[in-house]
C-alpha cells in the first residue's frame, strides 16, 4: 500500500518463506504435503495478508484506481499424487482481481466437479492479459515491435473479459 501511495505504478510480490525453519516449505509448489501446507500455513497466511491489504486500501479510498491481482502461473492437478501433493495443471486455474474497475463479488466461469476443465466461459492467458491491460487503460490491441521489427500484439491476440469489468 505504501509503495502505491508513494507513486509506484506496479508492485509485484512473490510469496516464499520458511515453515518450521525449513527454507522453501512455505512455497505454493506443493507437489508433496499439499493439504498440511495449505491448511496450516499457506492459506491462513494468504488470507491474513490479502484481506489486510484490501481492507487497508479500501479504507483509504485507493481501490477505485488500484487493481490488486492474486494468481499463480497455473492450476493444480485434480488428482492427488503419491506424495499427498498436487502437480502442475495448466488446463484450469484461478485469478482473483480486486478493485481497479472489476465487479465486486463476481465469479466468472465454471469448472467441472473435479476442477480439471473449464466448462463455462473459459479464459486464456492472453485473455487475462488483455483484461488487465483494459483495466489499466491500455489498448489490448496495441502492438509493439520486436527485435526483428515485426508488429506484436501486447495481449497476444487475447480479448478482454468484459463480463468482469464494472
Global pTM reads: 0.86
At residue 122, the pLDDT reads 95
Given a contact cutoff of 8 angstroms between Cβ atoms, the answer to whether 26 and 18 are in contact is yes
Q: 40: which 3 cell numbers? A: 496450516
Residue 37 has a pLDDT of: 86
Residue 25 predicted with pLDDT over 60: no
3-state secondary structure of 125: helix
The Cα 1–Cα 53 span in angstroms is 7
**Per-residue confidence (pLDDT) for residue 69, from 0 to 100:** 95
Tell me: pLDDT of 131 over 70. yes
User: Is 86:31 a contact under the CB 8 Å cutoff?
Assistant: yes
Mean pLDDT of the chain: 91
pLDDT tens digits, 3-17: 999 999 899 987 766
Q: What is the mean pLDDT of residues 99-124?
A: 95
Question: Has residue 23 got a pLDDT over 60?
Answer: no
C-alpha cell at 25: 516449505
Q: What is the distance between the alpha carbons of residues 154 and 142, in angstroms, rounded to a whole number? A: 6
The pLDDT assigned to 161 comes to: 97
- What integer pLDDT is reported at residue 20 of this predicted model? 63
pLDDT, position 14: 79
The pLDDT value recorded for residue 6 is 94
pLDDT at 22: 63
Name beta bridge partners: 110: 120
Report long-range pairs for 117-124 (Cβ below 8 Å, ≥24 apart).
Answer: 117/91, 117/92, 118/91, 118/92, 121/163, 123/95, 123/161, 124/158
Amino acid at each position: 500500500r505504501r509503495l502505491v501511495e508513494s507513486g509506484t505504478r506496479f508492485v509485484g510480490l512473490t510469496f516464499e518463506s520458511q515453515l518450521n525453519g525449513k527454507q522453501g516449505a512455505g512455497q505454493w509448489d506443493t507437489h508433496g504435503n499439499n493439504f498440511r501446507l495449505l491448511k496450516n500455513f499457506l492459506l491462513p497466511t494468504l488470507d491474513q495478508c490479502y484481506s489486510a491489504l484490501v481492507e487497508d486500501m479500501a479504507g483509504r479510498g485507493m481501490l477505485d484506481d488500484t487493481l490488486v491481482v492474486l494468481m499463480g502461473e497455473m492450476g493444480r492437478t485434480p488428482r492427488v499424487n503419491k506424495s499427498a501433493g498436487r502437480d502442475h495443471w495448466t488446463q484450469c486455474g484461478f485469478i482473483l482481481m480486486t478493485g481497479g474497475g472489476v465487479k465486486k463479488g463476481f465469479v466468472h466461469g465454471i469448472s467441472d466437479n473435479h476442477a480439471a476443465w473449464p466448462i463455462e466461459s473459459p479464459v486464456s492467458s492472453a485473455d487475462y492479459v488483455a483484461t488487465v491491460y483494459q483495466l489499466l487503460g491500455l489498448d489490448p490491441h496495441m502492438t509493439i515491435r520486436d527485435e526483428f521489427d515485426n508488429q506484436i500484439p501486447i495481449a497476444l491476440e487475447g480479448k478482454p473479459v468484459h463480463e468482469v469489468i464494472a
